[in-house]
Structure 1
């Protein structure tokens, strides 16, 4: 009997040693979190948001098991500021990243104001999502584009693969040899595949610990490069007006394959039920590459096509599949995760927790704000659908309140008012027909700017030349 008892205790001890850590990770109440942030993916460039030429079967399946937010927004309309706001939960006024430098892009003669100076990097004392997770006992890793400082390991990441100050993979950079600090592992290897392989290895190595896995793919940012066999697949497929770029479609397809591959690995590790997946894009798509109709404009603009992004959140067993039309911001990720983890930090953030929305509760009314005291030059004046042909955006601010959206442009102190429920394409300016609503939103926007100390540029640019503006505007629309 003693021999049998000793044998049983030995077997039990072995089981505890081999499985105890996994059991502990599952019982801590700390779910793993995977945040997939695709670069420049448009709101309608995925099947679950209505795309048909592009194919995203894995994302569509995952979205069907998720809370899909149909009115999700980035905190800015281009790469660096949108990432800075998401990672810190703060408006650009707190970290100084308003754009991808410089803030005075475009022809000097066409800029009426001296824009607010821009910071390339978030301040050294910024508290990020990664640091929030790390302080709660998580292992943290980034695999891909960082773009808000030189080294993400200075901001809470234990593991960094491919993340640095660069905003794209470089010329011909989607195929090995890489230009983003990743050693090559064979000629012709595709960057999206490699980043996913590294992410899977991280999950495997940390299966017994709660982990935060940040996967900000460089794709689908330019330069547009795809596997030839996938490009050929979409070359054979009929496109749609403004949505027929086979290379771009192939890049999306590769990204979708790799998200599916990552989540299959998570499932095989037995972590699916204890893993939250957040999928989104850093800003709107480039309109010259892919139209986001009915949304107006694209990346770099503060019309809907530049800031509205795909977003779903999946947690099997906790969040019930749903489609939610309440407007949310990526800045909401930080306070939501803080509440979910019951993190004891009083750090001030500008987003709000959307945990209630994820749990199926009724939304409360809120206003959303954007501030961009900078200039972004046009990509393609005949494609951009911007306010003027020379810039995707000029200095200004935006408020969304309910279905109403007000744009304020500083150069001429001009406003545009739209009702998104009836005019999603922001074509009919209702400023004159709804003066009371306009004044209400103007007051709210002014109050918000004062409360956040948002800088409003007023200094005139001595190089400004109205005649040159007129000449270049005409020339750009003629295609010269």
Structure 2
């Protein structure tokens, strides 16, 4: 049945192409979608960072719209990326954790000794989904991806879901070989020694733009520049590290950079010179692409979207950044895990606009169709609405936003489901079957739950959340009959003590003038000294 629906959608798209050709409508706009990996809400200059330097992203904000209440569809990558591709919330497409993580009884092998066994989930984006790339391809667009995919193994790679050209998208969700060759990526040939992966992906996109303009002058394109940056392992050049080390010293280095929040140490300072370098490399790559758009005259007919697949990494992975005043980061249920940067630029937009209306990753599919003049497909992107219509109407919306993460995150996240409605946010935890209620207008940092003050609001939002979970047939975690609370307590004590000490030491080491990183990436000095 679903395959028949997908065939029908494809047929309707082809019919639309014929109608457009017959009506001789204006040329459809191009779309450049730039997706960063693990990039935090305020890891940009235009979002308040005084340490990181992002002149090219800031320029997009200056020339376009900056969103302050934008969200990813999940606190980890694969689910949110699938939601961008499908326009659906994570329980609907079935990818609720990053692909490759253990679930069910396999979770015990991680040695976490958790109270619950995480729910099983899909490891490949279903072929039955009619992705935004397929829809645009069927509407006459040339579709291109450079960079991260992480939505399934071979047979579920970008070319299996509508992308005609693929440079670097495959199974892995991290840069297997790091940010310098060899990349260990079967979809991306190695460059010369010292080449930076982010710059390489930028140049691949530039090459695509040039070739497309040359061969398909009147055909629109959908370019999906999906960086592996700023995902760990974080690596940059000696030149970048040195510059940002000195900058951190000039700004004043705090004695302590971490606190323990519930489970893991959480970074409180933006002073990681390696991470700052990774951001600079990505921003430089974005500059290459944006400059080429302008040089080719394509900027006059291109919608540019920049966002991140989830919040920045404050705990777990590389413990890279701080998102204060937001609590938490990647993998966690608080705002730092799901609130992300979002910039949009397009011809004749009201430059410098700031939009405070909450939007989410499922909205990109209908937004792109709306801007391109393609009929909506509500049966596919059923959980999204057009951001363009929000901007045109400039109206606040009280629609609820939902999240479902029935897993434990290696960054400290807990199995939970979330609803945000207006300024109210409720987090339901599966371990103890309790909720936390916050009002983000008065407590953006989610410091203190206000359940006692507003019991009726708790009941209202819990009811709405549970109805939604039933509607989308959400899979839920189950109790582990072999759960040993003493073993769990022991590993959490280790996180609060030994791990905290190790991260504080590493932070200070990176800021020493004589610090030397691993030999496997200092080779970058061959071209970047």
TM-score, structure 1 length as denominator?
0.88
Measured on the aligned residues, the alpha-carbon RMSD in Å equals 1.9
**Matches of 1:109 and 1:279, distance apart in 2:** 35
Report 1:386-397 matches (<5 A).
392-397=412-417
Are the aligned partners of 2:311 and 2:340 in contact in 1 as well (CA < 8 Å)?
yes
**1:135 has 2:138 as partner:** yes
**SS state of the match for residue 479, structure 1?**
helix
Q: Which residue of 1 aligns with 2:168?
A: 162
Are the aligned partners of 1:80 and 1:99 in contact in 2 as well (CA < 8 Å)?
yes
**Matches of 2:474 and 2:357, distance apart in 1:** 26
Q: Which residue of 2 aligns with 1:252?
A: 279
Report 1:50-65 matches (<5 A).
50-65=48-63
Structure 1 residue runs of 5 or longer lacking an equivalent are 1-25, 379-391
Q: Which residue of 2 aligns with 1:358?
A: 391
The Cα of 1:394 is off from its aligned counterpart by 2.2
**SS state of the match for residue 205, structure 2?**
helix
Report 1:62-101 matches (<5 A).
62-100=60-98, 101=101
1:198-218, CA deviations, whole angstroms, 9 ceiling, x for partnerless residues? 101111111212000000011
The Cα of 1:113 is off from its aligned counterpart by 2.4
Q: Which residue of 1 aligns with 2:492?
A: 473
**Cα–Cα, structure 1 residues 377 and 224, in superposed 2: closer, same or farther, change >3 Å?**
closer
The Cα of 1:125 is off from its aligned counterpart by 1.7
**SS state of the match for residue 117, structure 2?**
coil
The Cα of 1:470 is off from its aligned counterpart by 2.7
- Where does structure 1 differ by over 4 angstroms across 4 or more consecutive aligned residues? 104-109
Q: Which residue of 1 aligns with 2:405?
A: 372
**Matches of 1:179 and 1:30, distance apart in 2:** 37
**1:220 has 2:247 as partner:** no
Q: Which residue of 1 aligns with 2:16?
A: none
**1:282 has 2:309 as partner:** yes
**1:186 has 2:192 as partner:** yes
**SS state of the match for residue 380, structure 2?**
coil
Are the aligned partners of 1:319 and 1:359 in contact in 2 as well (CA < 8 Å)?
no
Question: How many equivalent residue pairs?
Answer: 441
1:270-323, CA deviations, whole angstroms, 9 ceiling, x for partnerless residues? 111101110111111110210100000110011000111000110021454310
| Equivalent of 1:298 in 305, 324, 329 | 329
Q: Which residue of 2 aligns with 1:203?
A: 209
Are the aligned partners of 1:232 and 1:246 in contact in 2 as well (CA < 8 Å)?
yes
Q: Which residue of 1 aligns with 2:438?
A: 418
Are the aligned partners of 2:64 and 2:349 in contact in 1 as well (CA < 8 Å)?
no
**Cα–Cα, structure 1 residues 130 and 417, in superposed 2: closer, same or farther, change >3 Å?**
same
**1:147 has 2:113 as partner:** no
The Cα of 1:85 is off from its aligned counterpart by 1.0
Q: Which residue of 2 aligns with 1:404?
A: 424
Which range moves more in the overlay, 343-352 or 92-101? 343-352
Are the aligned partners of 2:27 and 2:220 in contact in 1 as well (CA < 8 Å)?
no
Structure 2 residue runs of 5 or longer lacking an equivalent are 1-23, 255-268, 500-529
**Cα–Cα, structure 1 residues 244 and 109, in superposed 2: closer, same or farther, change >3 Å?**
closer
Q: Which residue of 1 aligns with 2:465?
A: 445
**Cα–Cα, structure 1 residues 186 and 478, in superposed 2: closer, same or farther, change >3 Å?**
closer
Which range moves more in the overlay, 98-107 or 65-74? 98-107
**Cα–Cα, structure 1 residues 144 and 298, in superposed 2: closer, same or farther, change >3 Å?**
same
**SS state of the match for residue 174, structure 1?**
coil
The Cα of 1:442 is off from its aligned counterpart by 0.9
**Cα–Cα, structure 1 residues 357 and 319, in superposed 2: closer, same or farther, change >3 Å?**
farther
The Cα of 1:259 is off from its aligned counterpart by 0.8
The Cα of 1:360 is off from its aligned counterpart by 5.2
